[in-house]
Amino acid sequence: MAEKNNSTANPELADVFCEYGKAYIKSRPMPPEHYKIMHDIVVCRTATLGGHVEVCDDCGKTQNSYNSCRNRHCPKCQSLTKARWLEARQAELLPVSYFHNVFTLPHDLNRVILCNKKIMLDILFRSVSDTLKEFARNPKSRYKEGGDIGFTAILHTWDQKLRDHFHLHCVIPAGYLSHDKNRWIHSKKKYLFPVKALSMVFRGKFIEQMETVFENGDLIFPGSIADIGTDTGFRRFKKQLYSNEWVVYSKQPFGGPKKVLEYLGRYTHRVAISNNRILCMGNETVTFSYRDRKNDDTKKTMVLKANEFIRRFLLHALPKKFMRIRHFGLMANRCKKSNMIKCREILGQDNIPDDLSNKSVEELMLELTGQDISQCPLCKKGKLKKMFKIPEQSGPGFFERIGLTTLKDTT
């Protein structure tokens, strides 16, 4: 918790913000959403957000239980959200294998994306969707006929070292519905569509859509990327993007719907770094662990200056109300229910999973952690009952904790 002692071993992200946040804020202008992210993470599960007093109905032990901040960038608040989301998805899975495709943007685009996050990341979603739908409608020699595909796309913006690395994880049923909606067209065993062809079409669609918003004057090019904002600079930039190979990666299909849920759980509600990866802090540095993807996922450690660590974390702040998990095609929200019913009829699935998304917090946490959070931690017999409400603002907020009374102009 953020309120633990000043030990530098095994700190949480909240501790890093409390220790080094003031110097970071004073060193640069920040957008309002970055202040909010830092504030919410620091006050999460503290008296600042209020809560309630719990009393054991057997031994009488009392304890305070504080509210969560529910900020999607907070490493403490994702487990329950993820569990509810996965429970809801369980009722939507089809009795087929699933593929995992990853569409990655070249790093040449990073500076433009960071200045135009919502527009550019929306283009990423649209171009991936258009690419997969086009291949399903016109499969050419791989399949005898086309049809309608459905899939879920999950945005990640980081690599293991917290650097900007924009990519979409797509989970796709191994097949698609025929145009007449009477047959399910099963995929070939190893992959749904050839990745080299996918990457070329994906590149073309992304650059075409980016060119459209550029011509409409919707993009900004401040500071070091001002030259790209000129007609000549943009043409040169576009040529550079076309000259690179874009990466689309495809994994072999999962063993079944249960495996899909387990796999989805690794990607859906992640934040840039979890608390258990932060190893220590001190002398204005933060040490954390990472997996070296280029060296067989070997676990290594990295030391960053505290300001650089915070800067990298905040690189991955998403625009307000931006949806980082989206469903497309057959699985789009507006037509998902009827399409899933039709697909199940064709595939002969009789035992349709129930929608289990109404489980209580206690039930979900028992499944997640194996612990009964309603059980008294002292006597191990009684149940904890909510007795009294703790009002909000019962403890210091983020700015009070770091002694900051004025903020930089964020305009």
Q: Cβ neighbours of residue 339 under 8 Å, at least 6 residues apart?
A: 150, 177, 330, 331
Q: For 246-317, where are the alpha helices, taking DSSP H only?
A: 257-264, 306-314
Count, residues in the chain: 411
Encoded tokens for 312: 């990298």
Per-residue pLDDT, averaged over 247-268, amounts to 78
Rounded to whole angstroms, the Cα distance separating 138 from 235 reads: 31
* pLDDT given at position 226: 97
Rounded to whole angstroms, the Cα distance separating 391 from 7 reads: 29
The pair phi, psi for residue 110, each rounded to 5°, is -55, -45
**Of 394, 396, 397, 371, the residue nearest 384 (C-alpha):** 371
Indicate the pLDDT class of residue 7, thresholds 50, 70 and 90. Answer: very low
SS (H, E, C) 17-29: HHHHHHHHHHHCC
* pLDDT given at position 80: 77
Rounded to whole angstroms, the Cα distance separating 121 from 324 reads: 9
pLDDT digits (tens, 9 = 90+) for 157-186: 999 999 999 999 999 998 899 989 999 988
Q: Exposed/middle/buried for 380, CB within 10 Å: 0-12, 13-18, 19+?
A: exposed
Q: Cβ neighbours of residue 343 under 8 Å, at least 6 residues apart?
A: 94, 177, 184, 330
Q: Is the predicted pLDDT of residue 228 greater than 90, yes or no?
A: yes
Lowest mean pLDDT among 26-35, 167-176, 355-364: 355-364
Domains and CATH numbers, the chain: 13-72+365-402 (no CATH), 92-271+315-347 (3.40.1310)
* pLDDT given at position 168: 96
* pLDDT given at position 355: 54
Tell me, what amino acid is at 318? L
Rounded to whole angstroms, the Cα distance separating 39 from 23 reads: 15
**Of 76, 73, 106, 121, the residue nearest 310 (C-alpha):** 73
Q: Is the predicted pLDDT of residue 248 greater than 50, yes or no?
A: yes
* Side-by-side strand order, sheet with 384-390: 62-66, 51-56, 384-390
Encoded tokens for 374: 């309603």
User: Contact, 305 vs 16, CB < 8 A?
Assistant: no
**CA 383 from centre of chain:** 35
Encoded tokens for 292: 């070296």
Rounded to whole angstroms, the Cα distance separating 58 from 379 reads: 8
Residue 154 DSSP SS3 = strand
Residue 326 DSSP SS3 = strand
**Of 129, 82, 138, 122, the residue nearest 103 (C-alpha):** 129
* pLDDT given at position 1: 45
Indicate the pLDDT class of residue 4, thresholds 50, 70 and 90. Answer: very low
Predicted TM-score of the model (pTM): 0.90
Encoded tokens for 357: 């998304």
